[in-house]
C-alpha cells in the first residue's frame, strides 16, 4: 500500500490540481494523507470537499501552523502504507506515475526509489508540451551511500523518492524543524543509513515555482533564519564525514554545492558588519570556508566573504538589481 503525504499551507490556488493528479494514479490500494498546516486561504474547505467525495482514499488532518516538517511528520505518523511518498500541494504528477513506479521497479529488497522531475517555472510553462510518458529504466541499483559518492547530484527533494516506511521507522528518521533544507537533511539521514536503492529515469513529477513560494521569500529577517538552517545542515554533513571517513570528500563537495543557495540568502540578508563577521567565524570554524571545489563559483564566494566592504556592495547589487530584475527570468531547470 502507498501513502502519499501532502503538507498544505495556503495552497488553495493549486490544491485541486494536485489532488486531481493524485486521484489519477491508477491505483486501488493507496491513500492520500493531507495535512493542513493552519491554512487561512480556504484550503481547508477544498480539502473537506475532496475528503467527502473520496472518503476511502483521502484523509485530512488539521493542525495549527507549525511548518511543513511537522506536517510531514504527522502525516507519516498516521500513514498506513508500506511505502511513503511526498507531494507538495502546488505540484502534481502525470497520470499513472506511482502505479508504474511501484509495479515496474519496487521490489521487496529495496528501501528507496528515486525518480526524475521537471521544474515548471514561468519560462518552462511557455514552451512545454506535456506528454504523459511514465516510462523509464534503472540507471543505478545498490547502496545509496555508493550512489551519493559516485554521483555528483543533489538529494534535496523528498518528493523525488519513494521510501519504505519500515526503514524510516527502524532508523528513527523524521523531518527536522528547519526554515529550509529540511528535505536535504531528511534525505541525508536516509542515505547515510545505507538503504538499498534504485534510481530510475522516469520523469513523472512536476515541480512548479511561483513568486509566492516560501523559497522565494527575500525578507532579511526571514533569510537570516534560513541561513541558520543551512548551518545546521553543514554541521550535520561534517558530523557524517567524521562518522564515515571514506565519504568525506563527497560530503565536503556537497557542503560546497549547498553553500551556493545558502550564499544567495546571505547576500539577501543584508548583514551588518558585526553579523557578517560572526557568520564568517562560524563558517571558518566549521571549515566550510574557504571553498575550493567549485572553480570560479568558489572564488567568487571566497572574495565576497573576505572583506565586508566587498560583501556589502555585492549584497546591495544582489538585492536591488539581481533579485527583482534577473532572478524572475532565470530557468530553474
**214: confidence class by pLDDT, cuts 50, 70, 90:** very low
CA distance 73 to 176: 9
pLDDT tens-digit map of 264-321: 999 999 999 999 999 999 999 999 999 998 899 999 999 999 999 999 999 999 999 9
Average pLDDT over residues 61-69: 96
Q: Which residue has the higher pLDDT, 215 or 255?
A: 255
Whether the per-residue pLDDT at 152 is higher than 90: the answer is no
pLDDT above 70 for 34: yes
**Total-model pTM:** 0.94
Question: Which of 248, 143, 145, 146 shows the shortest CA–CA distance to 197?
Answer: 143
3-state SS assignment for residue 54: coil
Asked if omega into 43 is within 30° of 0 (cis), the reply is no
The single residue listed with the C-alpha cell 490544491 is 15
Determine the Cα–Cα distance for residues 159 and 176; give it in Å rounded to an integer. 16
Distance separating alpha carbons of residues 290 and 33, to the nearest angstrom: 44
Say if residue 332's pLDDT is above 90.
Answer: no
| Cα–Cα distance measured from residue 47 to residue 43, given in angstroms and rounded to the nearest whole number | 6
According to CATH, the topology of domain 2-208 is Spore Coat Polysaccharide Biosynthesis Protein SpsA; Chain A (3.90.550)
pLDDT value of residue 18: 98
Residue ranges per structural domain of the chain: 2-208, 217-329
Evaluate if residue 110 carries a pLDDT over 60. Answer: yes
Asked if residues 159 and 205 have their Cβ atoms less than 8 Å apart, the reply is yes
What is the C-alpha to C-alpha distance for residues 194 and 306, in angstroms, rounded to an integer? 38
Check whether 218 has a pLDDT greater than 70: yes
- Work out the average pLDDT over 171-199: 97
| pLDDT value at residue 165 | 98
What pLDDT sits at residue 216? 60
Q: What does the H/E/C string look like for 144-204?
A: HHHHHHHCCCCCCCHHHEEEEHHHHHHCCCCCCCCCCCHHHHHHHHHHHCCCEEEEEEEEE
Tell me the residue ranges of DSSP E strands in 87-166: 92-93, 112-120, 138-143, 161-164
Report the chain's C-alpha Rg in angstroms: 20
Amino acid at each position: 500500500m502507498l501513502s502519499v503525504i501532502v503538507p498544505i499551507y495556503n495552497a488553495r490556488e493549486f490544491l485541486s490540481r494536485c489532488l486531481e493528479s493524485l486521484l489519477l494514479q491508477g491505483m486501488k490500494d493507496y491513500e492520500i494523507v493531507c495535512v493542513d498546516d493552519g491554512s487561512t486561504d480556504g484550503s481547508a474547505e477544498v480539502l473537506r470537499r475532496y475528503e467527502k467525495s473520496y472518503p476511502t482514499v483521502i484523509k485530512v488532518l488539521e493542525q495549527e501552523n507549525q511548518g511543513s516538517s511537522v506536517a510531514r511528520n504527522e502525516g507519516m505518523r498516521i500513514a498506513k502504507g508500506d511505502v511513503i511518498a511526498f507531494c507538495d500541494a502546488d505540484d502534481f504528477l502525470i497520470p499513472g506515475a506511482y502505479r508504474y513506479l511501484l509495479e515496474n521497479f519496487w521490489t521487496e529488497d529495496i528501501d528507496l526509489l528515486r525518480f526524475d522531475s521537471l521544474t515548471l517555472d514561468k519560462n518552462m510553462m511557455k514552451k512545454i508540451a506535456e506528454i504523459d510518458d511514465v516510462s523509464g529504466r534503472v540507471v543505478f541499483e545498490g547502496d545509496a551511500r555508493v550512489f551519493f559518492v559516485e554521483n555528483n547530484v543533489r538529494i534535496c527533494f523528498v518528493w523525488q523518492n519513494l521510501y519504505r516506511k519500515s526503514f524510516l521507522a527502524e532508523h528513527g528518521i523524521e523531518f527536522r524543524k528547519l526554515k529550509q533544507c529540511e528535505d536535504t537533511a531528511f534525505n541525508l539521514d536516509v542515505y547515510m543509513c545505507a538503504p538499498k536503492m534504485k534510481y530510475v529515469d522516469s520523469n513523472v513529477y512536476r515541480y512548479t515555482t511561483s513568486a509566492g513560494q516560501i523559497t522565494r521569500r527575500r525578507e532579511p529577517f526571514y533569510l537570516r533564519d534560513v541561513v541558520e538552517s543551512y548551518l545546521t545542515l553543514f554541521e550535520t554533513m561534517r558530523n557524517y564525514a567524521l562518522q564515515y571517513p571514506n565519504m568525506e570528500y563527497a560530503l565536503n563537495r556537497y557542503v560546497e554545492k549547498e553553500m551556493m543557495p545558502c550564499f544567495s540568502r546571505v547576500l539577501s540578508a543584508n548583514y551588518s558588519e558585526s553579523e557578517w563577521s560572526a557568520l564568517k567565524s562560524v563558517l571558518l570554524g566549521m571549515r566550510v570556508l574557504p571553498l575550493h571545489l567549485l572553480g570560479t563559483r568558489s572564488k567568487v564566494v571566497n572574495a565576497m566573504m573576505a572583506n565586508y566592504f566587498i560583501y556589502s556592495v555585492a549584497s546591495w547589487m544582489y538585492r536591488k538589481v539581481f533579485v527583482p530584475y534577473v532572478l524572475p527570468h532565470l530557468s530553474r531547470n
